[in-house]
Structure 1
């Protein structure tokens, strides 16, 4: 057989195999397959009193609910007031900082260390104390609602808690968490984790995104940044440095720029966009504000023992200017116990230089 023909046949067979594997992975009939799962929903709605919400007073942490069993969370949705004008309660205080001071926590399998711990705004994609509609495959803000569709397995149960660190606003929360009880959670299915970081940066310091000691896979992050000086976006020059297992002194994975990691370019030259797995819901050069997200699926980053991710700016320190950032990193780990740093104080959470007025005061 001629060499060129053999190569052509090999290529066709390889492509056919890849296509078949891809079809199996995506499973076009997945939504049509009948399963023996038991579908339930944890909700703040009380069927007896007809009350839709739970109260989350300032300075308090409230347990929304606990579930026992084996299964996975398939969809988490919630909303809350405080960040917009309420036509039904005109005297209610308004402050978009509630998006930063209202903290979501999720505990797996009886652990006392939350695997998920992050401010609401950051967890759902925008950490700039504002709401803007965008829809990605795994999380988003949808015209007043907040949703997350990362599958979240549990083997003994889960607990959801919300803490209000605001010093002025007592709020309420509407929440629906749809979960499936099933005996078919694979042994190799990891627990969902979300780790929050924030802080002011003088310019040259690394932007720390995540660090875990476990076996797992990193599946993405949200990152919001704001320059102290208006029209300053050079913090986007920082490529990712990803340290994995034995590659701890020198990063195993590096990139070419921060906006490049989020699959954009030239400081997101063509402005805002929202895709299924990556996007820039906010880019405002005038206020030097950017909010970005990226989710990894087939390109998840795997680690056996430990993982660390930073963004490090290669420019000379004298060329760089101060900025502030906040981020939430997502991963699946082989442990239900969280490895999150202590939640910052309200003052540390609200370290932003300026907030945009995004309340349109519309009446539904």
Structure 2
């Protein structure tokens, strides 16, 4: 008899966790599992990549109203006589304007959003909050399930979350999954009482899909003597793309001919555009926006660069490995789970000078470049078999 599984995530916008979920859903054995998906917002470029077997739940009507603008949502709640929800929407708005970390705002305002979701009627065999914070809180408070799983995709120390708040929620889960051994070690130290619940399931990447999509033709303004650098990710502070822009300026000042292509979108786009303009890099540093197929750009790269301030485990780095692209990455806390310096990439200090030096070493040192490419070709990266770890949690 098929088991009923629910996955929960805020949306399917461009992001590592979102891409990881789509990859996972493409691997699931639908002869043995029925899969529902709960989205806070039914939007995102990855919606079109969901397998046809996945059933997206209808958004609760009160949550649809709650997600609207402050003025519209309050007015609709008042018209419908739902004074408590109108009050919760106001407090939710005020709470999200407080000068505290994004994670703490999300934690402290959760109880006001919770009232708009209520309890989902169906009872599941397994419910999975697939992204830290709200996805996990929905799983714990709003879902009926025989087994519950939380998922943490990042270095918890960098979240700036309220540990006591999360500790209360960890007690409600049968398992807490994270994406790397380093992330597991961090959680085990932070949440000692729950360390026996913590499991590692790495982000699933598919070499078959990546190689297929990388063959899509694109036209780029690249001269024959330019080295192409590609970075992929959400345009947000933790991804460190401001460091990348400064590194590009240094490389240009040294007379190196490069074209740096940044694939992604986010709240930092305007500030990055200003930096690019102010540093005279409009011909060298290109923002091409978000796309569900970054591999068509990655295929054009000579070098892949990940300038992050922190990561859980970078999906983009594993994808670059699959296409045999030498990688330069900053020394964020979990990087050694993915790279060995001078073997399959270059690890640099987290500043623009060090990053530019790492890139330059690959441009001018043909032997190093060739050696890294050779090592990448002899490495198995694809992680489709990680799905069996999930089956083990479901069936255990």
Q: TM-score, normalised by structure 1?
A: 0.26
Higher relative contact order (CA 8 A, sep 6+): 1
Q: TM-score, normalised by structure 2?
A: 0.24
Greater helix proportion: 2
